[in-house]
A and B are shown apart, each in its own frame.
Chain A
Amino acid sequence: MSDYRIKGETGEWEVVIGLEVHAQVTSNAKLFSGAATAFGAEPNTQVSLVDAAMPGMLPVPNRECIRQAVRTGMAIEAQINKWSRFDRKNYFYADLPQGYQISQLYHPLVGEGSLHIEADEKAGIAADKVIGIERIHVEQDAGKLMHDQHPTMSYVDLNRSGVALMEIVSKPDMRSPAEAGAYVRKLRSILRYVGSCDGNMEEGSMRADVNVSVRKPGDPFGTRTETKNVNSVRFVMQTIEYEAKRQVELLESGGTVDQETRLFNPDTGTTRTMRSKEDAHDYRYFPDPDLLPLELDDAFLAECRESLPELPDAKRARYEAAGISAYNAGVLTAEVESARWFDALLETGAEPKAAANWVTSELFGALNRLGKDIADCPVTPAQAGELLGLVADGTISGSIAKQVFEIMLETGDGAAAIVEREGLKQTSDTGAIEAVIAEVLAKNPGQLEQYRGGKEALFGFFVGQTMKAMQGKANPQVVNELLKKALG
């Protein structure tokens, strides 16, 4: 149980959150036409006669959109409905050319599933939690209205009209902004693993309708508001914080919450009533007579299942089983690109734990510094594997490895070649090391006396001096052994 509470004048309130996430399905063409879906095209260029709802135009569903929604459903372990239907949701708006949206109300493609969010003390999520998912259905996106181009007119661009969306409807299972944030992040991660949505919230590929209500703990659900089209994790959390507070204040001052549609203002972090769709509550859903029921056969479903990649939860478990810390496993699996990069590194034979440590500290640190994504990482997993291999077989030490890595980033050269060229090979030559140790002991008689007098902590000092004298190239294990002998 989350103990996120709003402290009101009459006591503590619990917030109840459900999210309807609209995720743009990754496909070349639209859900019911052959027009392109790419972002950022000239207005009304990616519009077919079908998308503009010219008289006599008919929809024919895009197989890939159905496939991606099914794969997404499988990824959240949901029931896949082999028989589903498209329904029309009827309302009038300038961005909705048909006067109805083709959606799925009565028989959605995907039924109940679930999604796990992990405990996160820092964020205030005390324990792992399972968030129920009610359904996923496929529907058309609307066009776009622009209000600031003309003093008395709004402009309609239908490029988005008809693009396939998955609406992923959660159960009202979340109880804090942090849980909702974790849910959206996790959902986004899964969608990107599956490849069914690019998860790009800035371009509107993913946006959430946020349903919020408040109640006294133990009471039945209160009346909810729905804040539309919230397009970042941070805004989702802000919406919940604002709405929960607003509703508590409203209720405590004797008012009631209206079941209404609201809009979030990112500039102020507040929400307000949406004026334009107030009277559109009677959507007159009915099965789209232009489309037959959607029936999926076993071969189609089998292909969907076989094409699913390893998903974050499974990958994380596998990493932990390989000895990687829970924290690192979480970091490595959060983004599909990092996980894929890391898996490629493991395939080179790198030792999982050392590799995980190196990626999360050295590699991510370097990328951060360079302002780069893992996708355009200057070092390939194979090159990194070579570097880690040199450390593992004792050719170079960990500190030399850092030096080599820097050179790799600058030059793009291979680790072994750099070690060879720069003479960074670690030595285990006992004669050479013994000579250096003798020198070090001779130069530091004071410390030697103190050590022999019982101050054993100075052992590290002698290791450091020896390594320094050997420019880091001595095998630390051999140094340790020989020093112990010499210090007697």
Chain B
Amino acid sequence: MTIDQATVRKIASLARIAISDAEADGLAGELNNILGWVEQLGEVDVSGVEPMTAVIPNQLRLRDDVIDADPLTGGNRRDDILANAPEPQHGFFGVPKVIE
């Protein structure tokens, strides 16, 4: 598997990272290097092996259906939610106009 510049551009676009031609060039080489190295995983016989799901045996706990039981995971904290917003607007987050 060789990653060319076009693939790098496609991945960068999926990841929403703007890159220059020079960066795309450099990244193509680096990614090929790294991915070439990880491809040795293909040697491992994994027949009958399940992918790891929980690294330590543990059960998924479920929360009770209670509003604002813990302020850290509850609502009604608009000021905190908007405190670091780059473009707060009347209680909303402002973003460049989106055309759907």
Contacts and interface: CB of A to CB of B under 8 A. Distances in A.
A306 interface: no
Contact of A49 (B16, B72, B89, B97): B72
A44 B89 contact: no
A45 B76 contact: yes
A-B pairs, 8 with minimum CB distance: A35-B75, A64-B65, A155-B92, A63-B62, A292-B60, A156-B93, A34-B74, A46-B75
Contact of B94 (A54, A153, A279, A292): A153
Contacts of A176: none
Contacts of A63: 62-65
Contacts of B77: 47-49
B18 interface: no
B78 to A, nearest CB: 5
Contact residues of B: prevailing secondary structure: loop
Interface string B71-88: 011111110111000010
B22 interface: no
A284 interface: yes
B73 A276 contact: no
A27 B64 CA distance: 10
Nearest to B13: A279
Nearest to A86: B60
Q: On chain A, which size bracket covers the interface?
A: 35 or more
Contacts of B74: 33-35, 48
B60 to A, nearest CB: 4
B44 interface: no
Contacts of A274: 100
Contacts of A43: 78, 90-92
B75 A47 contact: yes
B20 interface: no
Interface in A211-259: none
A146 interface: yes
Contact of A291 (B13, B60, B69, B95): B60
A279 B74 CA distance: 34
B53 interface: yes
Nearest to A284: B14
Interface of B: 13-14, 16, 53-54, 58-70, 72-78, 80-82, 87, 89-100
Interface of A: 27-29, 33-36, 42-52, 54, 60-66, 85, 92, 94, 145-147, 149-158, 263, 274-276, 279, 282, 284, 287, 291-295
A85 B66 CA distance: 23
Contacts of A42: 78, 91
A150 B97 CA distance: 8
Contacts of B69: 34
A275 B67 contact: no
B65 A152 contact: no
B63 A153 contact: no
B65 A153 contact: no
Contacts of B66: 28-29, 34
A274 B98 CA distance: 12
21 contacts: A28-B65, A34-B70, A35-B73, A35-B74, A42-B91, A44-B78, A44-B82, A45-B76, A46-B76, A48-B73, A48-B74, A49-B80, A50-B73, A61-B60, A61-B62, A149-B92, A151-B97, A155-B89, A155-B90, A292-B58, A293-B60
Nearest to B16: A92
Nearest to A31: B63
B89 A153 contact: yes
Contacts of A153: 87, 89, 94-97
Nearest to A143: B93
A51 B14 CA distance: 23
Given A62-B62, A153-B87, 16 more contacts: A34-B68, A35-B76, A45-B76, A48-B77, A62-B64, A63-B65, A65-B65, A147-B99, A149-B89, A155-B92, A155-B95, A156-B92, A274-B100, A276-B100, A284-B14, A293-B60
A50 B60 CA distance: 18
Given A35-B68, A61-B60, A292-B59, A146 B92 contact: yes
Contacts of A157: 92
Contacts of B76: 35, 45-46
A295 B61 CA distance: 9
